[in-house]
Structure 1
Amino acid sequence: MKQISNRFSIAVHILSMVAVMPAKCTGDFIASSVNTNPVIVRRIMSMLKKAGLIKIRPGVGGSNLLKEPEDISLLDVYRAVDVVEDGHMFNFHKDPSQACPVGKTIEQVLRRELTEAQSAMEQRLSQTSIRQVNEQVLAASGLSGHMDSSL
């Protein structure tokens, strides 16, 4: 089964770290937290920068959010990192038989259902902000109330 790109979860991880500790957030530092190659982190950070979500300080390192954490929704992140091809989460198999009553109509019928499912997911993502994610992360790690650069 093909999954949605992991760029989304990595991008949320990056934004969460930048919100909590912006001065420390170099590509290498974030990559150590994500446990991935720094090139992947830098590529995703570039996508977030292009979307107007972060500012990257070249040379000296570190990053800053360009919006308040409560003003960045998970839907903003989802869209910034292109997790789905051509804006469609679901793909269809190629060239079903037009001679078959199921084959000639299945995509039309199924597309309507899958479009509604994608819309519902996007609606849910729009209701959660990076601040809310961070509050949950910090509470789960026992660091509630430490949403600043002192970590």
Structure 2
Amino acid sequence: MTRATLPALTIAAHALAWIGLYQRQGHEVATSEQIAASANTNPVVIRRLLGELRRSGLVESRRGVGAGWSLAREPGSMTLLDVYEAVEPGPLFAMHRTTPDQGCVVGHGIQPAMQDIYEGIEETVRQELGRVTLEDVLRDVLGAPR
């Protein structure tokens, strides 16, 4: 892959699952520091992803005393496609950074050929992500059967 798409999706899913479990344990909000410790990353990374998830309506934030993050929707109504679209709105695969030599038969035809392939892969990925809810992920994390 040419971009870090899946790590962003994975870290965002990790954060959402962590918040979901934390809320089930009776806590109202989780801090980015708590989530970052679980993901073994910097809280700034978590805050950036949570900001994108907030703009997409997947999480809510609270400021001031008791500041933190909570899920804006039930885990069963949130798919991995929702998460993917929130943190990675662009295509999964990218083309050349500059236009290939259009006078060359390969340079002229490579982008249309690859674009068709990439669109098929992207559609398959989107369908699969749309089938899995955050509830499914949390269930798998906790080792419960589906």
TM-score normalized with structure 1 length? 0.83
Displacement of 1:90: 1.4
- What amino acid maps onto 1:43 in structure 2? R
More helix by share: 2
Displacement of 1:3: 4.1
Taking the aligned partners of 2:54 and 2:126, their CA distance within structure 1 comes to 21
- TM alignment of 1:24-35, pairs within 5 A: 25-35=30-40
Which residue is equivalent to 1:7? 8
Taking the aligned partners of 2:127 and 2:117, their CA distance within structure 1 comes to 15
Displacement of 1:2: 3.7
* 5+ long unaligned stretches in structure 2: none
Taking the aligned partners of 1:66 and 1:17, their CA distance within structure 2 comes to 14
Per-residue CA shift, 1:94-146, capped at 9, x if unaligned? 2222222222111112111111111111110000000000000001xxxx49x
Which residue is equivalent to 2:111? 107
Does the CA contact (< 8 Å) of 2:3 and 2:93 recur in 1?
no
Q: Which has the higher contact order (CA 8 A, sep 6+)?
A: 1
Which residue is equivalent to 2:140? 136
Taking the aligned partners of 1:91 and 1:42, their CA distance within structure 2 comes to 26
* 5+ long unaligned stretches in structure 1: 146-151
* Structure 2 residue 94 is the aligned partner of structure 1 residue 91: yes
Which residue is equivalent to 1:149? none
Displacement of 1:89: 1.6
Which residue is equivalent to 2:63? 58
Taking the aligned partners of 2:132 and 2:78, their CA distance within structure 1 comes to 8
1:41 to 46, 53, 60: 46
Taking the aligned partners of 2:45 and 2:39, their CA distance within structure 1 comes to 10
Does the CA contact (< 8 Å) of 2:32 and 2:69 recur in 1?
no
Larger deviation, residues 15-24 vs 126-135: 15-24
- What amino acid maps onto 1:91 in structure 2? A
SS in structure 1 of the partner of residue 94 of structure 2: coil
SS in structure 1 of the partner of residue 47 of structure 2: helix
Q: Percent identity?
A: 33
RMSD: 1.8
* Structure 2 residue 111 is the aligned partner of structure 1 residue 118: no
